Amino acid sequence: MIAPPAVSIRNLRIALPKGAERPFAVDGVSLDLEPGKIVCVVGESGSGKSMCAHALMGLLPGTVSVASGEIQFEGRDLLKLDDDGWRDLRGRRLAMIFQEPMTALNPLMRIGDQMAEMFEAHGLLTPRERRDKALALAREVGLPDPERIVRAYPHQLSGGQRQRAMIAMALALEPAVLVADEPTTALDVTTQAQILKLIRNLQRDRNMAVMFITHDFGVVADIADQVVVLRHGKVVEEGPATAVFNEPQHDYTKALLAAVPSMDPPPRKPLDDQPKAVEVIGLDKTYVTSGGWFREDRRVDAARAVNFNILKGETLGLVGESGSGKSSVARLVMRLIEADRGTVRIGETDLTSLSGKALRAERHRIQMIFQDPFASLNPRRKIGHIIADGPIAVGTDPKVAFDRARDLLKMVGLDAGALERYPHEFSGGQRQRIGIARALALEPEIIVADEAVSALDVSVQAQVLKLLEDLKARLGLSMLFITHDLRVAAQICDRIAVMQRGAIVELKPTTQLFAAPEHAYTRELLAAVPGRKEHAPAA
Amino acid sequence: MKQFWKSMLKSPSGVIGLVILLVAVSVAAFGPMLFPNSPWRMVQRPFLPPFTLSTVPLGTDALGRDIFAGMIFGARVSLLVGLVSTLVALIVGVPIGAMAGYFGGKVDDALMRFTEFFQTIPSFALAIVLVAILQPSIYSIVASIAVVSWPPVARLVRGEVLSLRTREYVQAAVVTGQSNSWIILREILPNALSPVIVLASLMVATAILLESSLSFLGLGDPNLISWGYMVGAGRTVIRQAWWITVFPGIAILISVLGLNLIGEGLNDALNPRLSREGR
């Protein structure tokens, strides 16, 4: 016998304010959440997946409104609920986990008190019982040393521990439905794997219905029972996870699946005979945060004796989790921050020994592509200026520089009309292309790409990666490619250096690293990549 | 820019403030041409109540001088002092704040200690002392108001620059080999300007109040009539002739209110995410 669905969303339409890019954020979505099943709602940014989750929790922002449809839960239509009705249901029957656990937790309240607050809000139990319950919950979600951790503040916990605390709060009142809005996106891969497992286990034990919002097909492959693919607010495909992965029906689903980079590195020809483009020798950097009068200074090693070189035409990957120091190394190489010790050599020039004017004159040889396409372009300058400013600074005639900017835009796949426009008129992928054009404008020998595709949707990511690969081959560039995503690294890097706590623990050609990882940490990282098991997409 | 005017005109406080400022500015600019009577000339008997004679609609003061003429000429001084001293304060404060925020370290320490030196002295007391030492004149008044009002500008700009300088587009400018001054002027300051504009509109209001207070204490420019001076002159006879103090007082109140409303409107237009709408 099939159990009746816990929640059934019927023909939901959510209207966006006038002047938005489309009339409905969510347009005629119907889906069922069944007890004991995880439904993954997948889509790229702007597909309306988060709107669905927020509608289910009654958390829609004031600027949008529900145009039609219904959400049935325990015999009631949630969309007709008043504030009191919502307050009663939220937390008790419906719970939510958010993307960023740091901002979802109150920084001034102890973890245990925040958990106990769940009971307090619904007038359950005595203060003493609430405290005991909080402790039991902390234990259940696998927080280490529960007695101590319920007395800790959110900032004293790691990202994964915070997310566990969030999950404990969501589960406190044994809700029938759990909504998880990108709960692992802000976490490192190894932590992500643990959290996914935790959600999976808890959901099975308690027979909860879970709505899991994500953009990551790897995560979907690991966790989903049912998959719903959203595009522009419409459901393009839905079905059991295995069916969607193995026999996708809709072209869009097929394209999305094909865009997920494979874990099998393609063969690359060796470059051993090429000269060294960059040489990094013994780079050290320690951040010291003053602890004040009574506490010791806090020291974080961002780089410990980092050595590597990049051959001409080679892409070296730098992978590691957040806080491993990979971005610091990029900035040390760029001389955006000063190293404590060590040398960075570009060709024959020792970059670390230069300063002032001499340094500025050499900077054009090594250029950077930044992570966040929304923060890396000055919102008040036109694209033409953004690209041409660099060449003009080194003395190129402005007219020549603008002509070149036009050519570069064409090279990265944008039309020349973009020159006169401002950054906010472009999408994330287009902005990243502009960032690439800016880096190329100075005709560098080396490109440092710091998480250059991490903020992009998977289909756009594939295009930008291809563009980078093409340009690199055409212009004979060397590249330092920094990423936390091993799939991306597998596709683009000739060699990969794995970083942990500021030190390179393993540096090998990509194929060897994936085939025979030596260091324990490398193995751990590889095992944690989502979507490796079961119905992983055929590569 | 179009977007800016649109959201500025949408906020009611901004529109009211703009209208008030427009009226005040046109009175200051064209009023003396239409009413060429000198505000210092005695035109009628002293203590003439308002609304009795159409030639002196707001009555006369203790010496028989026309209060209406005084208010029109006073608008010039008040607005001029407000605008010019704010401008001077910006010219001093913005570069100091920008340099402190951008270069950090020792430069920051030195500049901020210097700023704090001014901040620790009560601003009105310092203004009085400066005007008294320099002899009251329009120049010394503008200078002393500017001296006491630049520190908050420097603080604000420093804070903005501190947060902007770590943005990726600023780093991008560094790696393309731009010079420091170019980065500050082209990349950072344009993006730090909106809160400064809002602060500036409020500073004009404060400067007008400061000027009035100085004139009230008899430290105004003796050759120029101002609202504060009129209030001060009429203070001893407030029980017999209320109109001598009340009308200039209302003028001060309305122009300061108008500037504050503009500040609020600017804030809504320039920092749309902070405005109360859309919450």
* Whether pLDDT at A497 is above 60: yes
Integer Cα distance of A67 and A367 in angstroms: 49
What ipTM describes this predicted complex? Answer: 0.78
Q: Note the pLDDT of residue B275.
A: 46
How near does any CA of chain A get to the CA of B188, in Å? Answer: 9
d(CA A176, CA A207): 8
- At residue A498, does pLDDT exceed 90? yes
- Which SS3 state, helix, strand or coil, does residue A99 take? coil
Per-residue pLDDT at B261 exceeds 50:
yes
**What is the overall mean pLDDT for chain A?**
87
Cβ contacts (< 8 Å) between A363 and chain B: which residues?
Answer: 174-177
Chain B residue with Cα closest to A64: B278
Across chain B, what does the average pLDDT equal?
Answer: 88
Confidence of residue A156 (pLDDT cuts 50, 70, 90): confident
Q: Check CB contact of B172 with chain A, cutoff 8 Å.
A: yes
Q: Is B160 helix (H, G, I), strand (E, B) or coil?
A: helix
Secondary structure tally for chain A: helices H, strands E: 20, 20
A379 → chain B, closest CA residue: B191
Strands A38-42 and A76-77, bridge-based pairing: unpaired
pLDDT average, residue stretch A281-295: 80
How far away is chain B from the Cα of A322, in angstroms, using its nearest Cα?
18
In this predicted structure, what is the pLDDT of residue B159?
94
Predicted local distance difference test score (pLDDT) of residue B277: 43
Confidence of residue A2 (pLDDT cuts 50, 70, 90): low
Q: Residue A539 above 60 pLDDT?
A: no
pLDDT at B88 over 90: yes
Per-residue pLDDT reduced to its tens digit, B62-77: 888 888 888 899 998 8
Interface of chain A against chain B, CB under 8 Å? Answer: 62-63, 331, 334, 336, 360-361, 363-364, 366-368, 370-372, 375-381, 386, 389-390, 393-394, 435, 438, 441-442
Q: Does the distance separating the beta carbons of A381 and B174 come in below 8 Å?
A: no
* pTM beyond 0.90: no
* A73-84 tens-digit pLDDT: 888 888 888 888
Q: How confident is the model at residue B155 (pLDDT cuts 50, 70, 90)?
A: very high
Q: What is the pLDDT of residues B176-212, one digit of tens each?
A: 888 899 999 999 998 888 889 889 998 999 999 999 9
Strand order in the sheet with A495-500: A366-369, A446-450, A478-483, A315-319, A495-500, A503-509
Q: Of residues A309 and A102, which shows the higher confidence score? A: A309
Nearest beta carbon to residue A336 from set B167, B175, B179: B175
**Interval A375-416: pLDDT, tens:** 899 988 899 999 999 899 888 899 999 999 999 998 888 888
C-beta atoms of B179 and A334 within 8 A? no
Give the model's pLDDT for residue A3. 67
Separation of alpha carbons A485 and A51, rounded Å = 27
Cβ contacts (< 8 Å) between A334 and chain B: which residues?
175
| A226 CA: distance to closest CA in chain B (Å) | 35
Cβ-nearest to B167 among A336, A361, A375 = A375
Q: How far apart are CA A350 and CA A283, in angstroms?
A: 13
Reply yes or no on whether the pLDDT at B266 is more than 50: yes
Q: List, for residues A185-198, the tens digit of each pLDDT value.
A: 878 888 888 889 99
For residues A456-482, give the mean pLDDT: 88
Q: Which of A363, A367, A377 sits opposite B169 (nearest CB)?
A: A377
CB contact under 8 A, A62 and B279: yes
**A&B contacts, CB < 8 Å:** 68
- pLDDT (0 to 100) of residue A536: 42
Q: Which two tokens stand for residue A274?
A: 């090429």
